[in-house]
Chains A and B, each alone.
Chain A
Amino acid sequence: MRDIHVNEDILLEEGFAEFVIDSQRDLDLSIRCLNHSQALFRIRNAKSLRIRGFADDGVESTVLFWNECEAPLTCDETYEVNEHTHLVIAYGECSGSKTDRSTYMALRKPYAHGELVSASLVNAPMDYRMNVVNFAPHTLGEIRNFAVVLKQGKLMIDAIGKIVKGAIRSRSHQTSRALSFEEGQRSTILPELLIDENDVEASHAMSIGRVDDEQLYYMMSRGLSLSQCTALLSAGYLMPVADVIDNEEVRNALRNELERKLSAL
């Protein structure tokens, strides 16, 4: 595990690495992903984060940001995905404070494959702007958002998939789902597809809804309290984000942390 307190250029080498971002000031980080690298960044403290990520040709890499800040956080991120490269950027949001996140991912060269994945336990205002742009032919951009919106939470997701002219045979797909447990919860998800090429494939799916009363009744009829049902259902919704990391120990640690958060609700 390595602590990050100041601006840094980080090289992610093959294998798994864990970083802790802990700083009282604004941070500027650059991340260069090498092949078969996986990284977990725990964001403990940072006023605002500016991240520039870059994945070379032929690289397969995954980065998971685990936001456990107590204070409000603002992130501005851009990623460059190159030829025959597969880059996964995932977010686990467990912060109890306001979070603003803007992510821009450029699928710069042919056969670039970029994924933006988020799982958010929304207990404060949370604002996401996600922008994945297919600049080259045969590129694939995917956005997947899962959120559990709690009483204090307010979720706003603006997800844009864009395919520029000339990026033939490119694909842009997105799915966003938000789950709430109470009436009158505010969630806004804006899925957008900006397509400037004919020979492409694009889709979006979105759902915002309250947990089904019949499901709750079924679970409670086996003795689980309402808050236990909430915790189990939320865990089922959010846990899969930890699976992007190919390390059982890390996955279990993250699961336990999330479970603790949920059972404390």
Chain B
Amino acid sequence: MKTLEIRNLHVDVEGKNILKGVDLTVKEGEVHALMGPNGNGKSTLLAAIMGHPKYTVTEGTITYDGKNVLEMTVDERSKAGLFLAMQYPQEIPGVTNSDFLRAAMNVRRESPVPLFTFIKSMEKTIKDLEMKEDLAHRFLNEGFSGGEKKRNEIVQMELLKPDVAMLDELDSGLDVDALHVVARAINNMRKEYPLSLIVVSHYERFYELIEPQFVHVLVDGKIAVEGDASLAKRIDEEGYDWIYKDYNIQPASVAAPVKRSVTLGSCAISEKAKAAK
């Protein structure tokens, strides 16, 4: 059985200590919910597992199937079976969805996926996620609405079939109908094979559809409370205040948003205008 094990994980982001000793064990087929107020380390944990270059692990270990994840490059982690559906999927102009996905599928196979097989599975996945048929030929996420980007993350997940999928606020930007479509696609994958999930969401509604067995609440870089699905329900009804009181802890204050750098493809003038607001 493949297990993702995180022990005493400390993570810095641009010199600031965000995670302060996280322990988490995710076994095959388990569904874990990560909750907690904004800015307390949920996304940081997922990004550190995936290997985002800005997130520095200063202490602790991450292993998957007995292998040291921290020694792997980002692409090696993906090939090892880890997947992160990102909160803000990147737009990649010039690279079509189909070229990208075919390349990503091929890196995990001995021989390249035959074109016909690829087209068939891509068509099926696009249908499952109720996306527009021209998705394959469009540039990766370019000009997609927020909801389309999130659904496209699940298109990728369905085609790449990871062992451990991490969903970072997948439900934000999705309307109720889309939420059901996405949850159905994920649940269908779980029926096919023992997919493990780590789900970050603020909403009970998404958890009702995905049904986590374990709920962890991250406060100030540590897991403050753990429980079963009823914990998510209580947080939905009562908020986090009772946790702060019962466990005598304080949440990390919400950090100022990270300044986005102006890069190729972004308009310097509109970035400046946004910053002025």
Contacts and interface: CB of A to CB of B under 8 A. Distances in A.
A42 to B, nearest CB: 24
Interface in A188-236: 207, 209-215, 217-226, 228, 232-233, 235-236
A106 interface: no
Interface in B21-71: 50-53
B241 interface: no
A154 interface: no
What's the dominant secondary structure at chain B's contact region?
Answer: mixed
Contacts of B264: 177, 179, 207, 209-212
A233 B75 contact: no
18 contacts: A212-B90, A212-B265, A214-B90, A215-B90, A215-B92, A217-B52, A222-B100, A222-B160, A223-B78, A223-B107, A225-B75, A226-B75, A228-B107, A232-B99, A232-B100, A235-B94, A236-B139, A237-B94
B73 interface: yes
B266 to A, nearest CB: 9
B178 interface: no
Contacts of B53: 213, 217
Given A220-B73, A222-B156, A223-B107, 5 more contacts: A213-B53, A214-B90, A221-B78, A222-B160, A236-B94
A212 B101 CA distance: 20
Given A212-B263, A218-B89, A225-B75, A233 B104 contact: no
B95 interface: yes
Interface of B: 50-53, 73-75, 77-79, 83-84, 86, 89-90, 92-95, 99-101, 103-104, 107-108, 139, 156, 160, 263-265
A222 B99 CA distance: 13
A224 B76 CA distance: 9
Interface residues of A, number: 27
A211 B265 CA distance: 10
A233 B107 contact: no
A211 B95 CA distance: 13
Ordered nearest first, which 6 A-B pairs have the shortest CB separation? A236-B94, A209-B264, A223-B78, A218-B90, A220-B74, A222-B104
Contacts of B92: 215, 218-219, 233, 236
Contacts of B94: 233, 235-237, 239
A81 to B, nearest CB: 29
Given A217-B74, A224-B104, A233 B265 contact: no
A177 B263 CA distance: 12
Which of A217, A222, A224 has the largest count of B CB atoms less than 10 A from its CB?
A222
Nearest to A208: B264
A200 B263 CA distance: 31
B128 to A, nearest CB: 18
A219 B108 contact: no
Contact of A232 (B75, B95, B160, B265): B95
A209 B89 contact: no
B100 A219 contact: yes
B36 to A, nearest CB: 23
B93 A223 contact: no
Given A215-B90, A218-B86, A225 B95 contact: no
Nearest to A213: B53
Contacts of A223: 75, 78-79, 104, 107-108, 160
Contacts of B79: 223
B103 A232 contact: yes
A221 B50 contact: yes
A100 B90 CA distance: 37
A233 B95 contact: yes
Contacts of A236: 92-95, 139
Interface in A158-188: 177, 179
A243 to B, nearest CB: 13
Contacts of B101: 222
A211 B79 CA distance: 23
Contacts of B156: 222
B212 to A, nearest CB: 23
A235 B96 CA distance: 11
Contacts of B77: 221
Contacts of B263: 209-210, 212
